[in-house]
Structure 1
Amino acid sequence: MIARMLIDGRMRGQVSALDRGLGYGDGLFETIRFVGADAPLWARHMQRLEEGCRRLGLPMPGPAMLLDEARAVSRDMSGAVVRVTLTRGEGARGYKPPAQPQPTRIVAAFDPPPPDDAAQADGIRVRLCATSLAAQPLLAGLKHLNRLEQVLARAEWDDPAITEGLLCDADGLAISATSANLFAVSGKMLATPAVDRCGVAGVGRAEVLAAWPHAQVRSIPLEELRRADELFLSSSVRGILPVRELDARAFAVGPVARALQAHWRELGF
Structure 2
Amino acid sequence: MQAVWVNGIPTDQIKVTDRGFCYGDGVFETIAVVDGRPQLLSQHLNRMRSSLERLGFPEAIESVIESDLALLSFQGDQTLKLIVTRGNGFRGYMPPQEVSATRVMTLTDRVINYDRADQGVVTRLCDYRLPLNPVLAQLKHLNRLDQIMARNEWHDPNIAEGIMLDAEGFLIEGTMSNLFWFNSVAGELQTPLIDRCGVKGVMRDHIISLSHREGVRVVEGRFAPSVLSEASEAFICNSLIGIWPIVALDHNHYKIGSITRKLQSILARELD
TM-score grouping bracket, smaller chain normalisation: over 0.9
Show the counterpart of 1:223.
226
2:200 aligned with 1:198: no
Q: Report the AA paired with residue 6 of structure 1.
A: W
- Which residues of 2 match residues 233-244 of structure 1 at below 5 A? 233-244=236-247
Q: Report the AA paired with residue 236 of structure 1.
A: S
Deviation of 1:79 after TM superposition, in Å, equals: 1.0
Q: Report the AA paired with residue 128 of structure 1.
A: L
Aligned positions, number: 263
Would the aligned equivalents of 2:24 and 2:141 in 1 still touch at CA under 8 Å? yes
Would the aligned equivalents of 2:8 and 2:68 in 1 still touch at CA under 8 Å? no
2:183 aligned with 1:182: no
Q: 36, 56, 69: which one pairs with 1:67?
A: 69
Gaps of 5+ in 2: none
Residue-by-residue CA offset, 1:15-68 (whole Å, 9 max, x unaligned): 000000011100000000011331121011011001101100113322532431
Distance in structure 1 (CA, Å) of the matches to 2:260 and 2:68: 32
Identity %: 35
Would the aligned equivalents of 1:174 and 1:225 in 2 still touch at CA under 8 Å? no
2:258 aligned with 1:265: no
Would the aligned equivalents of 1:40 and 1:267 in 2 still touch at CA under 8 Å? no
Deviation of 1:92 after TM superposition, in Å, equals: 1.2
Residue-by-residue CA offset, 1:128-175 (whole Å, 9 max, x unaligned): 111110110000000000000101111111111000001000111010
| TM-score, scaled to structure 1 | 0.94
Q: Report the AA paired with residue 208 of structure 1.
A: I
- Which residues of 2 match residues 54-93 of structure 1 at below 5 A? 54-59=53-58, 60-62=61-63, 64-69=66-71, 71-72=72-73, 75=74, 77-93=75-91
Gaps of 5+ in 1: none
Give the aligned CA root-mean-square deviation in angstroms.
1.3
Show the counterpart of 1:126.
123
| TM-score, scaled to structure 2 | 0.93
Residue-by-residue CA offset, 1:173-208 (whole Å, 9 max, x unaligned): 010010000001112201110110000000100110
Show the counterpart of 1:34.
33
Residue-by-residue CA offset, 1:53-105 (whole Å, 9 max, x unaligned): 11001133225324314x34xx4x31110100000000111010011110000
Distance in structure 1 (CA, Å) of the matches to 2:202 and 2:165: 20
Distance in structure 1 (CA, Å) of the matches to 2:66 and 2:100: 19
